[in-house]
């Protein structure tokens, strides 16, 4: 059975930064409260329509392909985890596939809220281990700022926009993604919701006026749930891989609240500096937070080939999960790989198909 290695990684955040002081001009809050209760100092948010979950996801995914030195046309499968998709359909994964020029890839979205990247990574790894895919791109992307009620200080201070992506590749060399756990408890579904716009509550004047297109959260209950599950999920993923917690060089948790990560560290009896934390810069980017933190850990030299780590997260649903990973790095050093040239070729094919479809429509329209 092949192993599923993480061989490429990338991230993208919009340039616009919203500081705590900026927020204090919009709602009744202040920098000190936000820093003390969450650890967040600033977040990045999208501006106009040129920035979206698909554009951020594409940028992160293409960076990841470059690190992996892999052509878009080599990708077999794209899984996009998001709670803020571009549309209900088509899937954001298909928009990313088109932008990448990944002409051979299957593509689908997966929704498990802030735990989504762990679920998606696990599914990508399973596709490789079962032999049904060799090269998989897993993307986590969010534009939560588009669904935040900017008059609700309980939620608007927490979230940020961004995307992260990994390339997974098959190899017979041991390493990559080992054991993991995925859990859910729908009885807590009402604790963190965005109810409007789905089939139960399609958009109407009433859903707009009653704020159903915004995120609603019982922060205290979500906090309690998170502190209960993080340490246990980490231990379960480690045990499922035949490792010990002491083997871990670093833990990369979902970046929701410094106090939640601190509670997990205490639960695991590990020093807090073993945890990668960058939520001060980005806020809670939901499913994108783990890959963004991983990219920065790799850039800072905190993740080296052979290091053992655990990704652990929790979120709406309720969902939670963890994956144990031995860090690899790029497998291919082949010089003749040109991801950019290959992408342009894929994009040209996509444009050609669009034109052919338009011409066929005109011809068929005349014949009817
Ligand atoms: O990815 C998963 C997403 N969600 C989470 O991870 C959220 C988990 N929960 C949390 O992180 C925390 O519960 C929050 C950061 C959301 C809130 O922190 P807390 O320590 O649980 O505060 P609280 O809701 O109990 O509020 C304490 C006080 C209240 O005032 P009173 O009633 O004591 O007078 C709030 O009204 O703080 C007030 N408050 C604020 N004050 C200034 C609530 N939000 C703010 C604010 N600025 N932004």
Q: Give tens-digit pLDDT for 251-308.
A: 999 999 999 999 999 999 999 999 999 999 999 999 999 999 999 999 999 999 999 9
- Quote the mean pLDDT of the chain: 96
> What is the rounded radius of gyration, in angstroms, for the C-alpha atoms of the chain?
21
From CA 7, how far away is CA 9, in angstroms rounded? 7
Is residue 209 a part of any domain in this protein?
no
Is residue 342 a part of any domain in this protein?
no
Instruction: Count the domains in the chain.
Output: 1
Q: Give tens-digit pLDDT for 319-363.
A: 999 999 999 988 877 777 788 898 998 999 999 999 999 999 998
What is the per-residue DSSP string for 103-170? TT-EEEEE--GGGHHHHHHHHHHHHHHTTS-SEEEEEEEE-GGGG--TT-HHHHTTB--EEEEEEEEE
Handedness of CA 125, 129, 132, 134 (dihedral sign): positive
Please tell me the number of Cα atoms within 13 Å of 67 on its side-chain side: 24
Give SS3 for 362.
helix
Ligand 1 centroid from CA 154, angstroms:
6
From CA 359, how far away is CA 368, in angstroms rounded? 15
Is residue 16 a part of any domain in this protein?
yes
Is residue 236 a part of any domain in this protein?
yes
Please tell me the number of Cα atoms within 13 Å of 96 on its side-chain side: 40
Domain of 83, CATH number, reads: 3.40.47.10
Structure tokens at 210: 């009653």
Contacts of 339 (CB under 8 A, 6+ apart): 62, 65, 66, 69, 70, 71, 72
Range of the domain at 51: 3-185+219-326
Active site residue 114: yes
Is residue 39 a part of any domain in this protein?
yes
Active site residue 94: no
Is residue 101 a part of any domain in this protein?
yes
Annotated catalytic residue within 80, 114, 135, 257: 114
Q: How far is CA 162 from CA 58, 225, 246, in A?
A: 11, 25, 32
Output the CA angle 4-136-96, nearest 5 degrees: 155
Structural contact between residues 180 and 322, judged by C-beta atoms closer than 8 angstroms: yes
Closest CA to 280 of 74, 77, 17: 17
Q: Is the CB of residue 29 below 6 angstroms from any atom belonging to ligand 1? A: yes
Q: Is the CB of residue 83 below 6 angstroms from any atom belonging to ligand 1? A: no
Q: pTM for the full model?
A: 0.96
Active site residue 284: yes
Nearest CA to ligand 1 atom 25: 220
Mean pLDDT of 153-158: 97
Q: Is the CB of residue 108 below 6 angstroms from any atom belonging to ligand 1? A: no
Is residue 104 a part of any domain in this protein?
yes
């Amino acid at each position: 059975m092949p192993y599923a290695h993480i061989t490429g990684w990338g991230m993208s955040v919009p340039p616009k930064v919203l500081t705590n002081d900026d927020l204090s001009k919009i709602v009744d809050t202040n920098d000190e409260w936000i820093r003390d209760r969450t650890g967040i100092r600033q977040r990045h948010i999208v501006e106009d329509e040129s920035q979206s979950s698909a554009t951020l996801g594409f940028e992160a995914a293409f960076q990841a392909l470059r690190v992996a030195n892999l052509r878009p046309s080599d990708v077999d499968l794209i899984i996009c985890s998001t709670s803020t998709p571009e549309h209900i359909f088509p899937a954001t994964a298909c928009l990313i596939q088109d932008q990448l020029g990944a002409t051979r890839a299957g593509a689908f979205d997966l929704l498990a809220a802030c735990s989504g990247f762990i679920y998606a990574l696990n599914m990508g790894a399973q596709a490789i281990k079962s032999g049904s895919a060799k090269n998989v791109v897993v993307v986590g992307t969010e534009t939560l700022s588009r669904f935040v009620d900017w008059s609700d200080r309980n939620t608007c201070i927490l979230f940020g926009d961004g995307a992260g992506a990994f390339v997974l590749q098959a190899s017979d060399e041991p390493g990559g993604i080992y054991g993991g756990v995925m859990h859910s408890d729908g009885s807590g579904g009402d604790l963190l919701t965005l109810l409007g716009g789905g089939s139960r509550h399609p958009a109407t004047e009433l859903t707009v006026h009653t704020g159903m297109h915004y995120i609603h959260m019982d922060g205290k209950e979500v906090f309690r749930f998170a502190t209960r599950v993080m340490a246990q999920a980490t231990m379960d993923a480690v045990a499922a891989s035949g490792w010990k917690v002491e083997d871990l060089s670093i833990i990369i948790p979902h970046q929701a609240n410094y106090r939640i990560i601190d509670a997990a560290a205490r639960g695991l009896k590990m020093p807090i500096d073993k945890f990668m934390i960058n939520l001060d810069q980005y806020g809670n980017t939901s499913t994108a937070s783990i890959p963004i933190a991983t990219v920065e850990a790799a850039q800072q030299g905190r993740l080296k080939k052979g290091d053992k780590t655990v990704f652990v997260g929790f979120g709406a649903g309720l969902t939670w999960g963890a994956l144990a990973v031995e860090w690899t790095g790029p497998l291919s050093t082949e010089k003749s790989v040109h991801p950019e040239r290959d992408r342009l070729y894929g994009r040209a094919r996509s444009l050609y198909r669009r034109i052919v479809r338009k011409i066929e429509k005109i011809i068929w329209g005349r014949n009817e």
